[in-house]
Structure 1
Amino acid sequence: MSTIFALSSAPGPAGIAVLRVSGPEAGPALKALTGQLPAPRRATVAPLRRPGSAELLDRALVLWFPAPASVTGEDVAEFQVHGGRAVVRAALEALGGLPGLRPAEPGEFTRRAFLNGKLDLTQVEALADLVKAETEGQRRQATRQLEGELGQLLERWRSEILRALAHVEAAIDFAEDEVPTEVVAAAAALVHRLVPQMEEALQEAGRSERLRTGVHIAIIGPPNAGKSSLLNALAGREAAIVAATAGTTRDVVEVHLDLAGVPVVLADTAGLRDAGEDVEEEGVRRALARAELADVRIGVFDATTWPELDERTLTALGPDDLVVLNKVDVRFVPEPIVCSRDTWQVSAKTGQGIRPFVQALEGAAQARAGMTEEPGLTRARQRDALSDCVAALRRFLDGGPDAELRAEDLRLAARALGRITGRVDMDELLDVIFRDFCIGK
């Protein structure tokens, strides 16, 4: 196995930069630059010198982690140097000049941790999520998965399936001996208990995925209802153009928000009306398409036209969507109810009513995202594999008298769970997963 090195902290000027080395030549590299091998897992300040010339590069905090007690399971050395570009460049050049060392590929440190059993594949994905986390909800979800909660749940299910498989195979191998018929029945009872748990996890998967990728909210309504003004009020900045001319918004305008720890993608769309030109007609088509795909829709109506409401907007709203009457600074409507829904009266211009509406919007976002303490599936590939597992278990339960075919269904179910944690069929998948990592992770 080659020895790799990289800058593990963010590039660019900083107070501290962290350089990491992993592999069999990590110890010799540490000695070559500092003249010593410090005590394991103890931070030591040492001069960092260019090998061959003894030129002082920096005074660094160095750490030594002998295998297997390291993040990658290999010998690991870390150099914490001052974060100026010249210092970092000189240290990397010094490492690159040592025999047996090469620059790391993106995600290669984490890949080695996985291959050496330090992380399962769900933890690898959680590490990528933690690096990219922007909200408290995303951080908490990624941290729980990184601690191994999801992997432990999947391994517990897999162990139960293998136990059921052992019962069925015993009935096959000892068919002519005295193997109680209750053995296969016990296996079926085990599977009966597992399937509802897995199906519940699949039902919750969409919420966990939304917490990772963001809840999509579309603002829809007729022209000049104040959709762009509402977007700007929620974003706290001028993200969309506001004008008195109908049809100003032609394309979808997006802003990213943090609503009570939930990442939200808020989209302002074109006004819904019979367009008079091709460009505006395309904007209306995109607005309807975005509304259909959104997790939450906000229907915005003009309070000055009450009780006349745009039918196209009403038709696009679902039972759990939110309704807003805007421009209440011009006209306040006493106790309005739109289609049996609570209706929020706001003025995007003055800010009146915005705070209670934001609280309602936070509740809607949290209801659609996986804000829970339970481990959940966070990726489509995890959901697909668990669906394959459930399908195989269903075939086992519905199977006929052929015990060998039923045993194969249990093997397929266990293999499907193994794909989630990284136990089987991994080569092509690993290339895809680690491609998204930065160099140094």
Structure 2
Amino acid sequence: MQTRLSDSARHLARADEAERILRSCVHCGFCTATCPTYQLLGDELDGPRGRIYLIKQVLEGEPVSASTQTHLDRCLSCRNCETSCPSGVQYHNLLDIGRAVVDRQVPRPLAQRLLRSGLRAVVPRPALFRALLHSGLALRPLLAANLKAKLPPRIAAAGQRPSARHARRVLLLEGCVQQALSPNTNAATARLLDRLGISVEPIAEAGCCGAVDYHLDAQARGLERARHNIDAWWPAIEAGAEAIVQTASGCGAFVRDYGHLLESDQRYAAKAARVSALSRDLVQVLQAEPLEHLGLCAEQRLAFHCPCTLQHALKLGGAVEGLLTRLGFHLTPVPDGHLCCGSAGTYSLTQPTLARQLRDERINALESGSPQVIATANIGCQVHLASAGRTPVQHWVEIVEAALDATRTATL
């Protein structure tokens, strides 16, 4: 694609990157065929190729309108298009650049500004989010139906975490909403790793990965959170921690991008690259471990929803499925497993109508094999799919640990 950036665009910090990405697009349209929002809306401007064209216009100095912002907002950032692109177009990076330019030029309506600033104020703060969540649970009968659906039917207690006692140690990104909505996920992870001779070293100073701010019009704040985490983790990294583990693939995808996003920061570039290199989704850690000696024998029927961030951003499609099969679970078939459930971080709150349509399509596909439970690898997907109130949805590590406990009880 030929392009001529405007003088103002050429002064952007990522101008060269934007131009390189634009020129790598050959207009083939393969991305359009796999884009969830294009499939729903049938509008070229609600597909990757159309959005690339809109961003090209913006960076070439064409007038920017609220319509441009709307089409970019509707993108899920699922990165399905990147998986299907034969030219290797780094669409998500171009989208980040384009959205920032558009948001500076197009003031949002008051309702949108309040929603986005409210999400940025609450979601990255686990204590505040937990307090609001428990207030919502107490007031559930009084809430509107759409708010009730967002609340989990129950919250499993986390249980005890083992102390750090092994020579092998990893760090664990605790996450934001997951600490309140599914506290047992990380606790189960710590217990499972402990059985395998790996300790989780707690780093209380680490916080939100930064993705929420970064994707809600506050990129500078998101990068500040990234720097804060790097500083928090760095002493443990220097002391020999072998990985930074994430149980939410959405967080993992953003941490994996630290090196790229901070590559021009002289103080943090090298450290950010090191953190990205150490970043691991939980399944990557467990794949290399001798799980067979745990003695798990599971016959539960599961449907696995592979989050977009796991399969398209982290390129780990099939990894969890392979691990669960290795452990003896029966995985039911899931048609169109590459498609998004509509959660997409805060998308289910900023674009609720589209998100519900995508959720219901995914639920229908996931339930087509009559599973007993739906497993996933990202808290956003877990909560969004569960909001349909149909088949139970859990993080896969909790299902594995429960099966281990059941097996141990049966042999006593």
Question: Which band: TM-score by shorter chain?
Answer: under 0.3
Question: Structure 2 length normalisation: TM-score?
Answer: 0.21
Which of structures 1 and 2 has the larger relative contact order (alpha carbons within 8 angstroms, sep 6+)?
1
Pick the structure with more strand per residue: 1
Question: Structure 1 length normalisation: TM-score?
Answer: 0.20
